Structure 1
């Protein structure tokens, strides 16, 4: 993942000309043409970085070639033990990285140093006045390492970071033990989760005959990595018994002990000791949100709720039901960081889409015609969720920890006060907007009274998205907020004031957005056989990847998009590039753009009709027939079945439904327009100002 940043004296390209950044005073940036004596210009930072002509001086040059290479990650190429080693080295030198930034007046680094490394400071000691050599000396004592080793780690990190500030971690990858790459007798032993075989726990290199690999793999997964905690000697006996049954010589105990030592300690302890190891490896600060957020994007709270409004099909007026909304709020400023609205229920995929929307530029002026820009973007220092399974799962942990390199937090169970900021935002959106629109369900049946939400529903899903986007961008961000200081009591004023001490957030340039989206996709491990890669009764294959064909025990990391099953990305363990691979069965054309939910329904229809046996691949003809039959069934149920209408929204299908008998209900003109909402908000704002 590549991010860009703006620094004083840094160079930027603007309308084809090179400028030097003279000053940054959020929201204003002052630029001057390089190598000319012309006047300096002032420009809003958001308008600058979202201008199509804008580029940073150190924009990363891409070598995206025509062979479909789309994304690369050195860290993804490492096995679990190597990744742990990189993380350990990074944690050792992190105080030095923060020290360098805080000496450049980077406020977030100053806060992070005080929050996490007080043990490196003596009483009343100011980190800004400490020299690097003194911190290295204290780190050497703390980690029982030589100062020379720590200096080497820091030097290797900086060599890579100087080229790309986001990739410094790659400089910490050890070359020790890489000689195996050049040996013909090297074998990869892939260890999968015994209950979730698609999940790779570790990959280690061994030099054994092929016949031993499946035996060792089976016993380690099903006997060693269990809560029974069988001894290593017992495991070796089980392996050699299986060897004897298969008529092959036993493995020497010392060979197996070396293999045991190379399995990730974290994996072994998690699998063998269960919850006993959680406190050691799941360092989740529950209750962190009760600490004060000290600058913009220091802490973002995210949560879902079903919206208090019924929406209709914009083509035929049929009521579809209540959609879900996922919101993220910057605790420091109360600015809304992300918003995602759809009928997709809470899931890891939904969280991914919300986070993606929060990090990237939102471009609301172009998309919705807002008066102002939705200015907040970038990666938060910490993200807090509640304890729902859609948040607390491996996919989201990896997305936040490894891709975003943020900190993940969970609020304590049954303590809503720890998520008060996001709860108040949801309440504000309900009371100020949704409860004033036709089709509102209010917050409860007492508020709703005899009002018929379905009879009065007039707005489509897109209408609601547009109204809320305009409300957030042009009204909410500029309203007084009781929880903010008097001198900057609106979210946008507080946000701009905070940027003056924290600096502008790093951002992802438009040309890097596709790469960023790929990096957020979930991954799993799959073999590449003569058929290709098989995922849920689908086959993906490319003639250019025939060199990956191997036994089923050899698996590759695959990234997939739930919203479009027509392609995947695959990476060889010895390469850093992800390669796009299209689906071949069913044919690409029959499922292009289709999401996983729709495909699942089509397969269920075929199986219910007895036209598809278990584990068989659907043909192009079967897919087309299933589409036609499912469409016909849906059209029958669409008029009377609300669940079917919501299902269609998730499938992203259109249905032609005629002769729907709708009652003559409230005229659309009676529904508050955006302009009326704005006028009402200004009236409330002025009334509050008069009171004060």
Structure 2
């Protein structure tokens, strides 16, 4: 699926595409049906390319370029959903990525350099070349999954209770000053599982969990706290390894210091949450997510997708005439220890993209100083807006924030995008001695003193990036469809999988589904045979679109009424009643207005994957389409249409 440059919504079915367009000298790219070789990168918007067949040099817009149309190897795991991957295959892919990691990001590799790295890893140089080529083509660690072992179709992930035993054993047995070996730790996991009547996971699965521990965790947990501190503690005012753009990106949440109003009555509805991503080296904002929903795995997914994708359409959405030439995959994402960052899905998604996920050490504020200062700067700018809550009681003294509240979420978000792209990025930053935008440009293109890293590869498919970070579920398909959180979904794409079983174990087959919690009226089903996603709606089409938060409210209402089981009819009644109550009360209460506005924002379905609404056909086009396919005489059935 090509990038959504035509602003149309994604099809009901599509194949994931994790390829990226390489914007570097010597790379082959495609515009329309013509293939070019890039000979010069002019800026963030354009390159010079030589047409391969004619040798003619032409200027090309980066936004028009895409990967060469070739058939991906069907054996590559890069065509699968990330949740389908087997634990042992993850481990092998990680080992291969670790081997090529020193060479990743370089345009050219010298033979001597590759041979030295291959010798250090005890790998044949041709094998290392092959891994590098495969990884660079897709920019995904999943491309390094072994082909013969492949993706284990239908293989279920280990049960949550077994996963819990592994985590507990590593935490309170392996990561102790007694420093037991990995072998003894595996035996301890097996012993605890037997004690609880749980089937123990495969010994390689347990070993892979131990292997995934960072060196910092290992040192600190096994009694080398001072060594870990000396090795990993950053020098004052400097973050370790943030030596070039996208080397380290920090992400954090904060409630904005402003009361916003609803779109209808323009009355106060409360403060929104901001999730912000910032590149440490250049101090540039790589992405954000603004919502009335509390921080969650969804907030993180939206922010990371926005950070990795180009921003042209986003600026167009908010009608901001500015430059925000920032996209690309970070080498490291650095976050606090919140549950939304520690979810298995987010950690696995980062692993698949070759992103090193680091957590802020507890009680070490210097690790989060950069993003917190950026958020502090942002909040201070907000203090000049009507309806600001300021950041202290002293500042707030005598100012009624709700009385002065005037901005809607859309208006505030336009202001926020303007602030980031037109002011913050182009204002002198004292810590780097120049503007963040200039620092970013130098880091990308270089100058007399700095060698630039080059324009980051541009993701080919927006929706694949977003889906890879959204929450995933594994479910069996029954005759009535599939059930998630008590709600049933069905479409014809599920029919071949009804009551399907694993050919190896004979057990019901767990399949992968993903959803956007802001609108649970549809989910994405990944067909492991067709290697495609299909959109699956509510089986009861009478149910309206709703967010997971609105659905949970309806369930709580029905439980209070004494219903032990919840069916679609009861759910529809509860949703209707709740919305009716909100409509009746929203002019009177802030809580009702906030809830109504949240629903309105969810129904917009705006995301980094699809930032702009679909094009609406003109009346002429609609009329032509309505009568397409009719033959002589069919028009008579419509009667007099004059």
TM-score interval for Structure 1 and Structure 2 normalised by the shorter chain: 0.7 to 0.9
Q: Which has the larger radius of gyration?
A: 1
Contact persistence 2:519–2:548 (CA under 8 A): yes
In the alignment of these two chains, the number of paired residues is 540
Question: For residues 173 and 649 of structure 1, what CA distance do their matches in structure 2 show?
Answer: 48
User: 1:524 Cα deviation (Å)?
Assistant: 2.3
Distance of 2:407 and 2:121 partners within structure 1:
60
CA distance 1:227–1:456, change in 2 (3 Å) = farther
Change (3 A) 1:62 1:313: farther
1:380 corresponds to which residue?
330
Partner of 1:537: 486
From the superposition, tell whether residues 261 and 346 of structure 1 become closer, same or farther in structure 2 (CA, over 3 Å). closer
Q: CA–CA distance in 1 between the matches of 2:26 and 2:107?
A: 17
Q: How far 1:351 moved relative to its partner?
A: 0.9
In the other structure, the counterpart of 2:65 is: 55
Distance 2:150 2:36 in 1: 47
1:478, 1:520 → 2: CA distance?
Answer: 31
Out of 556, 559, 562, the position equivalent to 1:607 is 559
Find the counterpart in structure 2 of residue 673 from structure 1: none
Alignment map for 1:459-498 (pairs within 5 Å): 459-485=407-433, 489-498=434-443
In 2 relative to 1, CA 63–589 (structure 1 residues): closer, same or farther, beyond 3 Å? farther
User: 1:261 and 1:536 mapped to 2: Cα distance?
Assistant: 32
* SS of residue matched to 1:436: coil
Q: Check conservation: 1:634, 1:644, Cα contact below 8 A.
A: yes
Q: 1:86 aligns with which of 81, 93, 102?
A: 93
Which residue number corresponds to residue 582 of structure 1? 536
Partner of 2:627: none
Aligned to 1:266: 208
> Paired residue for 2:341, among 391, 396, 407?
391
Give the direction of change, closer, same or farther, for the CA distance of 1:532–1:16 in structure 2 (3 Å limit): closer
Shift of 1:79: 2.0
Give the 3-state SS of the residue equivalent to 1:565 in structure 2. coil
* 3-state SS, counterpart of residue 322 of structure 2: coil
1:273-322 CA distance string (max 9 Å, x none): xx989969xx9997567225211111111111111111111221210011
Q: Is contact 2:89–2:145 with CA below 8 Å preserved after alignment?
A: no
Q: Matches of 1:226 and 1:580 in 2, distance apart?
A: 42
Q: State whether structure 2 residue 488 is matched by structure 1 residue 505.
A: no
| Partner residue in 1 for 2:621 | none
1:356 to 292, 305, 317: 305
C-alpha distance after superposition, 1:103-122 (max 9, x if no partner): 728xxxxxxxxxxxxxxxxx
Give matches, 1:538-687, under 5 Å.
Answer: 538-548=487-497, 549-550=499-500, 554-571=509-526, 575=529, 577-580=531-534, 582-585=536-539, 587-591=540-544, 593-610=545-562, 612-614=563-565, 616-619=566-569, 622-652=570-600
Look up the SS of the partner of 1:295 in the other structure.
Answer: coil
TM-score of the superposition, structure 2-length normalised?
A: 0.73
TM-score, normalised relative to structure 1: 0.68
Query: Which residue in the other structure is 2:158 paired with?
Result: 191
Question: Per the alignment, in what secondary structure is the counterpart of residue 597 of structure 1?
Answer: helix
Aligned 8 A contact 2:140 2:354 in 1:
no
Shift of 1:15: 7.8
Question: 2: distance between equivalents of 1:627 and 1:74?
Answer: 33
Q: In the alignment, is the contact (CA less than 8 A) between 2:141 and 2:351 conserved in 1?
A: no
Distance 1:329 1:87 in 2: 26
The alignment status of 1:154 with 2:128, answered yes or no, reads yes
Counterpart-to-counterpart distance in 2, 1:442 and 1:81: 51
Cα distance in 1, alignment partners of residues 36 and 378 from structure 2: 41
CA gap of 1:152–1:526, structure 2 versus 1, over 3 A, is farther
> Which is worse superposed, 284-293 or 131-140?
284-293
For 2:190 and 2:28, the matched residues in 1 are separated by 58
CA distance in 1, matches of 2:28, 2:100: 29
User: RMSD of aligned C-alpha atoms?
Assistant: 4.1
Q: Identify if the C-alpha distance between structure 1 residues 32 and 565 changes in structure 2 by more than 3 Å, giving closer, same or farther.
A: closer
Change (3 A) 1:3 1:297: same
Structure 2 unaligned regions, length at least 5: 1-17, 168-184, 223-227, 446-451, 502-506, 604-642
What is residue 457 of structure 1 aligned with on the other side? Answer: 405
Secondary structure in 2 aligned to 1:22?
strand
Q: For residue 132 of structure 1, report the CA deviation from its aligned partner.
A: 2.8
CA distance in 2, matches of 1:31, 1:158: 26
| Secondary structure of the corresponding residue to residue 361 of structure 2 | coil
Q: How far apart are the structure 2 equivalents of 1:560 and 1:639?
A: 32
Counterparts of 2:150 and 2:442, CA distance in 1: 50
User: 2:44 & 2:492 partners in 1: Cα distance?
Assistant: 51
In structure 1, how many angstroms separate the alpha carbons of the residues matched to 2:81 and 2:273? 37
Deviation, structure 1 residue 651: 2.8
Structure 1: runs of 5+ lacking an equivalent: 65-70, 106-127, 141-146, 182-186, 201-223, 240-255, 656-692
SS of structure 1 residue aligned to 2:121: helix
SS at structure 1 position matched to 2:22: coil
Deviation at 1:400, TM superposition (A): 1.9
